[in-house]
Chain A
């Protein structure tokens, strides 16, 4: 299965601080997606990003969040002024190169964010 990598695997931060979560999609793919999963709940879509622009975003993705592509291969999710309720697992996803083309999303291992 294609590999998406994410760093860090676990991030602990104080409430009000800013965090940056990183993702390296499959083979420099131009598409990537961010999702979050609050403990014990379902996975929720946050945002999709294509070619340096936001393609789609959910109502969860408010001004507290931003996504960037700081270089050719890395993508980031920035959360400003973190709140306790931002504690969750954050997943990056990327389409595959062959199987299912752009329609199939492969997920990274996730970053567990804990806000204290």
Chain B
């Protein structure tokens, strides 16, 4: 069975500083990997995704993530955070069985706090 681990429950970063959120996955084949962001009381917004090819993927809001197969990781990065980035971040792994995407498996999330 596939699984996702986000080892950091909370992360505090100063505004303007760089950010890295960790994600490790367990999956037998090549996974499809996603990062979603959730603001309080809101739905899940897709930040970026990885299917294949270039292991460094760019997303919205200045975020990027790097797929490292050898480490089973898909860490999310941003060079300079803004106060509006404060939110809950979820890493997810998916698979595709040909007829359509299977249900996503999510990590427990990382709560990002931005200090002024």
Contacts and interface: CB of A to CB of B under 8 A. Distances in A.
Given A103-B32, A103-B51, A55 B100 contact: yes
B100 A100 contact: no
A107 B36 contact: yes
Contacts of B42: 109-110
**Main SS class of interface, B:** strand
Given A43-B90, A109-B42, A110-B43, A55 B99 contact: yes
A42 B100 contact: no
**Main SS class of interface, A:** strand
Contact of A50 (B43, B96, B100): B100
Contacts of A75: none
Given A42-B106, A43-B90, A95 B101 contact: yes
Contact of B96 (A43, A58, A103, A107): A103
B90 A105 contact: no
B44 interface: yes
Interface size for chain A: under 10, 10 to 19, 20 to 34, or 35 or more residues?
Answer: 20 to 34
Interface of A: 1, 31, 33, 35, 41-48, 50, 55-56, 58, 91, 93, 95, 100, 102-110
22 contacts: A31-B100, A35-B103, A42-B107, A42-B109, A43-B106, A44-B106, A45-B103, A46-B103, A50-B99, A91-B43, A95-B100, A100-B49, A102-B96, A102-B100, A103-B94, A103-B101, A104-B101, A105-B34, A105-B94, A107-B36, A107-B45, A110-B42
